A and B are shown apart, each in its own frame.
Chain A
Amino acid sequence: MNLVGISINHKTSALELREALHLNRNEIVELIPLLKESFFSEGVVISTCNRTEIFGFPHNYSLDISPIIDSLLRSKLIDSIKPENFSKFYSCGAVKHLFSVASGIDSMIVGDSQILGQVKEAFEISEDLGFTGTVLRRIFDSTMRVGKRSIKETNIGDGAVTVSYAAVQVVEKIFANIEKKSALVIGAGETGELAAVHLHDKGIGKIAISNRTTERAEKLAVKVHGEIVPFQSLQERLNNFDIIISATSAESLIISFDDIKESMKKRKDAPVVLMDIAVPRDIDPEVGKLENVFYHDMDSLKIIVDQNLQKRRDQIPLVKKIIMEEMVGFFAWYNALDVVPTIKLLRSFFEGIRHDELDKIKNKVSAEDFNKIEEMTRRMIGRLLHNPTVKLREFAESGANINDVTTNTLILKELFNLGEAPQNGNTFNGNEISSEDKIEKE
């Protein structure tokens, strides 16, 4: 198989390089015709904020993929990326790498749940642009199956692996019905926004945003259907909230021990969760000593994240087992494709002999007799080849034991001197048949 894969990811390059090479949907749509024309007969381009991957079947059999990389870099007008920043994969290695990417074990955050959707979307773009064939489609069927099985059969995607999601996980360990609780998010920056969105997605009953700059607070409040709490009157309003997440860039504390003590009095000691995910801290850590006050900062939430990441890493061997199973399944199907061309060769070999012999007697017998002989030899060849044809076809259709398939086709070729049958792959030397031809049944 001549599948080629090129990858730039978190293992091969720094974030700024990966970001520079990131291709949005429109850029992928523009790149595909270029790849189609110059390099690949079929292929796919996957690009996320952490990786850009190109897979394809080259027009010409060549291990030199630098023209593809050059073309990619030219399309993005980047000269800071070097060929060393790319990983290259060939044949089985390319398939295995694609499966690993889709399963999330190759992601920067192991078990990333978004990558499978991104792979699917990339394939759909190629499909829409007519850049896919039978083999690539089959590879992607297997890829999607790897991704789905990894999620279903292992715990690769379990547990919170970001600080803001870990904060929500702790909240869920304290309150039973988050939809009946109210939350205040202080700080409308990236971290605050992420926490607010997580709470909103979890169905929090009421959410409010407080930020030094009101415009940013308003923007986030609209996004999560929340209200605004003026930053100046923050302390007086604390008692109204069961969950307070603070993520500002303030240089000093904005919520003191006394603020929370006063708030707890007003709340009649009803429990409150304080998540201080700011560096430096926004909330006095001493508040954790108060009854029914659950205070957590970055360090404590990081413990959860690290534990969950370790649990996910422990699942990698199980995912690799799924990848191997799917690779075995895929290559059994793929290698069986060789059978049909062999049948064609065998039939044409026998037909050739028959026509030779018929030509020899054509002028020696009457036309009526010739027709009878022709009919008889046609039936004879048909009967002779019936059993081997059926048996080999059974192998092809069932994707049976690859060793049996290979052995049988090789013996057949050897016995009848059928010559070099076309290799798997699409266009190595210009004489091969297409993948569609290979699975053509007759």
Chain B
Amino acid sequence: MLQTIATINIILPFLYFVAFYAYAYDFYSEKKYLSNSKQIVLIVTLIIHTFYLISRTVEYNHPPITNKFEIFSIIAFSIGFSYFVLELLTNIRGTGAFIIFFSLIFQITSSIFIEHSYIVPEVLRNRLLGLHVINALLGYSGITISAVYGLLFMLLYNNLKTNKFGLIFNRLPNLEILEKLSFYSAVIGFVLLTFAIVIGIIWLPSAFPNFSYYDPKLIGTLFVWLIYGVGVSSKIFNNWFGKKVILFSLIGFVVAIMSLIITNTLAKTFHSFY
């Protein structure tokens, strides 16, 4: 089993690269050679990745959430999987390269640095924690996808405003669709982050009796949650369109990434497990 896990660990970045290359080639080239096969490559990659995550759980007797690089692999998977579901639901196939690129980066980092450990801190074996992590990771995948579509929206918006009718104009879906994809991903991300926060707050007093509500992790997460909350409600209640909504998504994503980096490296927080 260990040998299989090690082999798949090496293969996965290559598979994501092939999927990324297939989507990128299809985007840049107007020929339609890879329009169907790229989806098959992604499905195969996701199936093998699922098998890899299950194998790790069985072999090490804990879900693969006990170190940063196991989490990275799950993020790679959840971004790829969320994109795949979005592609199935909308049948918009032109934007995969921009999303799968993130899966590729996370999986490469994970595969290089991942540790194979049977020993994990007791606090990480809690069931509520498992739920908390799954919701948080899927939530972060949602806001990542939202930010990518937001960026694509801005690109096309600026191209249209400045009369540039090149690759971006020819190959991207229209502005309304990009805005919708970005908004729906943000809503899903926001809802899942809300669940993750609620579960975390329920679990927190029992796991860390001495925690502080001024902990940088809690403040950072709340800040991210508020940005998405305001953005989502503005769209729903004020019928906002375009750049204003997209800016919330992009700023929210940047703040979320900054918050993750700061709480995992610079600040002292209860949330440092690794």
Q: Using a CB–CB distance below 8 Å, which chain A residues touch chain B?
A: 155, 170, 172-177, 268-271, 288, 291-292, 294, 296, 299-300, 303-304, 307
Contact = CB atoms under 8 A, between A and B. Distances in A.
Contact of A268 (B177, B239, B243): B239
Contacts of B37: none
Contacts of A294: 160-161
Interface of A, helix, strand, loop or mixed by DSSP: mixed
B186 to A, nearest CB: 18
A176 B165 contact: no
Interface stretch (B54-62, B116-124, B168-176): B168-176
14 contacts: A174-B176, A175-B174, A176-B176, A268-B239, A269-B242, A270-B241, A271-B175, A271-B241, A271-B242, A288-B161, A294-B160, A296-B163, A299-B163, A300-B163
A271 B178 CA distance: 14
A303 B163 contact: yes
Given A288-B161, A294-B160, A296-B163, A174 B174 contact: yes
B180 interface: yes
A433 to B, nearest CB: 49
Given A155-B30, A176-B177, 18 more contacts: A172-B174, A173-B156, A174-B174, A174-B175, A175-B176, A176-B173, A176-B174, A176-B180, A268-B238, A269-B240, A269-B241, A269-B242, A270-B239, A271-B241, A271-B242, A292-B243, A303-B165, A304-B165
Given A173-B156, A173-B160, A292 B174 contact: no
A292 B175 CA distance: 11
A296 B163 CA distance: 8
Given A155-B30, A173-B156, A270-B241, A307 B165 contact: yes
Contacts of A303: 163, 165
Contacts of B156: 173
Contacts of B163: 296, 299-300, 303
Contact of A291 (B160, B176, B243): B243
Nearest to A175: B176
A115 to B, nearest CB: 24
Nearest to B175: A174
Contacts of B176: 174-177
A172 B160 CA distance: 12
Nearest to A171: B174
A292 B169 CA distance: 17
Contacts of A271: 175, 241-242
Contacts of B175: 173-175, 271
Given A303-B165, A304-B165, A173 B174 contact: yes
Interface residues of B, number: 20
B86 to A, nearest CB: 15
Contacts of B239: 268, 270
Interface string B237-254: 011111110000000000
Contacts of A177: 176
Nearest to A158: B30
Contacts of B173: 176
Nearest to B159: A173
Contacts of B160: 170, 173-174, 294
A303 to B, nearest CB: 6
A175 B177 CA distance: 8
A292 B244 CA distance: 10
A55 B162 CA distance: 49
Contacts of B174: 172-176
Interface in B218-265: 238-244
B242 A292 contact: yes
Nearest to B180: A176
Contacts of A307: 165
A299 B165 CA distance: 12
Contacts of B177: 176
A174 B156 CA distance: 9
B12 to A, nearest CB: 35
Interface string B163-202: 1010001000111110010000000000000000000000
A294 B243 CA distance: 13
A281 to B, nearest CB: 15
A162 B221 CA distance: 52
A304 B170 CA distance: 10
A292 B165 contact: no
A423 to B, nearest CB: 45
A270 B242 CA distance: 9
Contacts of A155: 30
Contacts of A299: 163
A311 to B, nearest CB: 8
Contacts of A292: 241-243
Residue from the set A173, A270, A303, A304 with the largest chain B CB neighbour count within 10 Å: A173
Contacts of A175: 174-176
Contacts of A270: 239, 241
Contacts of B161: 288, 294
A307 B244 CA distance: 32
Interface centre among B156, B163, B175, B241 (most CB of A within 10 A): B163
